[in-house]
């Protein structure tokens, strides 16, 4: 992930530097996504990097009315991430911020010009070998929890919403230490 917000990038640099470089720029593989989960004190930050094809039937800038509608629906859904990332109920976690970044959807992400910071997409190639266009979505979800001592799990509800998504490679730093996990439609829960 080449455009992580500074806070998260700094946290990863400290905690992950021996292992991260080989994973930082994964292949654009439809069906697969990467997630970084950082739990520290009362803060939970979830960073997701995925081909747009896992969420939409296209990866270019929306052209038809239907595609524009689909893009807006996707962005709206991602901004309500409490439904997508369910943290331990007892921990009292609230979604504080959602940052979305997708070159193909840039105009749509900016539309409501809400409190999100929108970053320009990075310099990694967005085009496949055959001239076929590919596009990624980077998203960061920040939660704040009123009872962090009761925070021990995250259920990821992305698969039921977007069936094209088949697996998520998770790297995490939690009070239990560093770890990794593979999420699939059959395995959606992370515990620490
Ligand atoms: Zn693609």
What is the pLDDT at residue 110?
A: 87
Look at the chain and report how many structural domains it folds into: 1
- Residue 26 counted as domain residue: no
- Give residue 2 CA to ligand 1 midpoint distance, Å: 17
- Residue 90 counted as domain residue: yes
- Residue 30 counted as domain residue: no
The parts of the chain modelled with pLDDT lower than 50 are 1-2, 16-25, 113-131
pTM above 0.95? no
Residues 30-67 pLDDT 10s: 999 999 999 999 999 999 999 999 999 999 999 999 99
- Residue 1 counted as domain residue: no
Could you list the residue range(s) of the whole structural domain that residue 120 is in? 6-20+35-191
3 burial class (0-12, 13-18, 19+ CB within 10 angstroms)?
middle
- Give residue 151 CA to ligand 1 midpoint distance, Å: 35
- Residue 25 counted as domain residue: no
- Give residue 125 CA to ligand 1 midpoint distance, Å: 11
- Residue 175 counted as domain residue: yes
- Give residue 174 CA to ligand 1 midpoint distance, Å: 31
Q: For residues 23 and 32, give the distance between their C-alpha atoms in angstroms, rounded to a whole number.
A: 13
What is the pLDDT at residue 38?
A: 98
């Amino acid at each position: 992930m080449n455009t992580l917000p500074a806070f998260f990038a700094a946290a990863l640099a400290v905690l992950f530097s021996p292992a991260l470089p080989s994973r930082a720029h994964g292949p654009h593989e439809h069906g697969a996504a990467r997630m970084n989960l950082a739990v520290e004190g009362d803060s939970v930050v979830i960073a997701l990097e995925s081909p747009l094809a896992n969420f939409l039937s296209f990866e270019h800038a929306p052209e038809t009315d239907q595609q524009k509608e689909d893009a807006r629906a996707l962005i709206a859904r991602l901004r309500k991430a409490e439904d997508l990332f369910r943290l331990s109920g007892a921990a009292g976690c609230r979604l504080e911020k959602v940052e979305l970044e997708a070159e193909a959807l840039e105009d749509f992400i900016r539309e409501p010009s809400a409190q999100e910071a929108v970053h320009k997409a990075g310099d990694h190639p967005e085009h496949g070998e055959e001239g076929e266009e590919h596009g990624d979505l980077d998203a960061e979800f920040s939660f704040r929890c009123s009872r962090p001592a009761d925070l021990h799990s995250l259920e990821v509800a992305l698969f039921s919403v977007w069936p094209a998504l088949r697996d998520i490679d998770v790297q995490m730093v939690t009070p239990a230490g560093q770890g990794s996990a593979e999420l699939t439609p059959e395995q959606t829960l992370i515990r620490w």
